[in-house]
Structure 1
Amino acid sequence: MEHNDIWRAIDALAAENGLSASGLARKAGLDPTAFNPSKRTGPDGRARWPSTESLAKILEATNSGIDTFAGLVTGVPTNFRGVVRPARRIPLIGLAQAGSAGYFDDGGYPVGAGWDEISVPEVSDPNAYALEISGESMEPVFRDGDTIIVSPAAPIRRGDRVVVRTRGGEVMAKELLRQSARKIELASLNPAHPNYSFDLADITWMHRIIWASQ
């Protein structure tokens, strides 16, 4: 068992519960930054290990057993009924590329040969895909270099973070403020940027962000 195996398992447990690493820490009553990449090594470059108390709290918060966590440590994720799930790779492109033609079909599913791939914790949606954030327009929620996993099949509720494509071809990551029979209102993740309001007819598709590598 190595240092990276433990942290990978924490990231995988977060993803299994639709959370980022910081979201998992918050759910467990820990400092939201407890599992941030910057906390995984000390100022001297030496590896830092999560405490047994922290591990116990995240297992309790997610109603998971030590056997589940052990499976994630070994790199063989399990679901919460103990059924082994195979490792999975999903398509990845940069968010800035996503508005270009040829990456999505009319239903918003990833298509074409221009995608890269990444290995991820188990995601049940067979059409899930990943986008890499670039720039500062979504700080402080998502930062340059973060990867988000998006699920076309996930139900969307008010307050969810979503990826939206407009009929004009623009793809953006926002928070769903409100959706009516005719309108959709989106909040920018960066408070320095304006919110948006669209007619539903101007939206091609909207998918929920289910995980982020923060």
Structure 2
Amino acid sequence: MIKLTSGAEGGTTPPERLLIVMAEQHLDVGTLSALLGIETAVARSWLEPGAPKLPLHHAVKLQEAYDYSPTWLINGVGAPMLSNLLEAELDEPSLPFDIVTIPPSRFKRIPVVGMAQLGDNGHFSDIEYPVGYGDGFLTFPTNDPDAYGLRCNGDSMRPRVKHNEFVVIEPNRAVTNGDEVLVKSQDGRVMVKELAYVRDGVIHLSSVNERHGMLRIPQDQIERLHYVAGIVKASAWRPD
């Protein structure tokens, strides 16, 4: 079983908070992996120094199992355990009460250039219009001049991304572990996945929907690995 190391009791970082949960609930890496529907290698990577924040859907699973606060698990804010008070709706991360207005100038016309499969073996209808033209458009706030949109088909990212919704891609933005990414492999597959980690020249991709397992693709077989900036409802699409 996991034992807390000296200095980890404060829970100031995401790995420390996860270690606290594992120590208090007598969980080892294998048990945690089974509970969250992930591979043990992913769970181990979350315990390494500098690991990214716990993804929301996994924090919610720990809430459901042991009553830990997702806000504390992800951001270290508030008490570790939920009280009898109602917690904020957790389909999406809680937002502060201070509303930030996005200037109209930030919104750009984003061309939709194809379709991405949300399963593991889908293919991409890559229209390859020049930037600014495509199969209709979306309006979305972005600073990336090369941003583009894709219609998503499939269910492997439900409930995060639903069938026929759109994702906005920012190809000039760096990606890190835990980000949702668009992946295009040299054999033509294009998928929206969660970047788990990169190790020994192999990219490991996971799905929000635990019915779909881990996917591994050698790094030299990746044609595109682009950052998913946002998810847009189907009703937001407009024809050219």
Same fold by TM-score greater than 0.5: yes
* The one of 85, 100, 105 aligned to 2:125: 100
Q: Does 1:57 align with 2:77?
A: no
Amino acid of the structure 2 residue aligned with 1:91: P
Larger relative contact order (CA 8 Å, sep ≥ 6): 1
Task: State the SS of the aligned residue for 2:220.
Answer: helix
Give the total of aligned pairs: 145
Amino acid of the structure 1 residue aligned with 2:170: S
* The one of 226, 229, 237 aligned to 1:210: 229
Which residues of 2 match residues 50-199 of structure 1 at below 5 A? 57-59=97-99, 64=100, 69=101, 77-78=102-103, 85=105, 87-92=107-112, 93-96=114-117, 99-100=124-125, 102-103=127-128, 111=130, 115-180=134-199, 182-199=201-218
1:58 deviates by: 4.5
Unaligned runs of 5+ in 2: 1-70, 76-86, 234-240
Query: For the structure 1 residues 101 and 212, does the alpha-carbon distance in structure 2 shift closer, same or farther, using more than 3 Å as the test?
Result: closer
Query: For the structure 1 residues 167 and 141, does the alpha-carbon distance in structure 2 shift closer, same or farther, using more than 3 Å as the test?
Result: same
1:173 deviates by: 0.7
Distance in 2 separating the partners of 1:156 and 1:169: 21
RMSD (CA atoms): 3.3
Query: For the structure 1 residues 58 and 131, does the alpha-carbon distance in structure 2 shift closer, same or farther, using more than 3 Å as the test?
Result: farther
1:181 deviates by: 5.3
Query: For the structure 1 residues 115 and 187, does the alpha-carbon distance in structure 2 shift closer, same or farther, using more than 3 Å as the test?
Result: same
CA deviations 1:163-193 (Å, max 9, x no partner) are 1000001000111111135111111232111
Q: Any conservation in 2 of the 1:87–1:119 contact (CA below 8 Å)? A: no
Q: Any conservation in 2 of the 1:163–1:208 contact (CA below 8 Å)? A: yes
Unaligned runs of 5+ in 1: 1-25, 36-53, 70-76, 79-83, 104-109
Structure 2 equivalent of residue 48 of structure 1: none
1:145 deviates by: 2.4
Moved over 6 A (4+): none
Of all paired residues, the percent bearing the same amino acid is 24
Query: For the structure 1 residues 111 and 210, does the alpha-carbon distance in structure 2 shift closer, same or farther, using more than 3 Å as the test?
Result: same
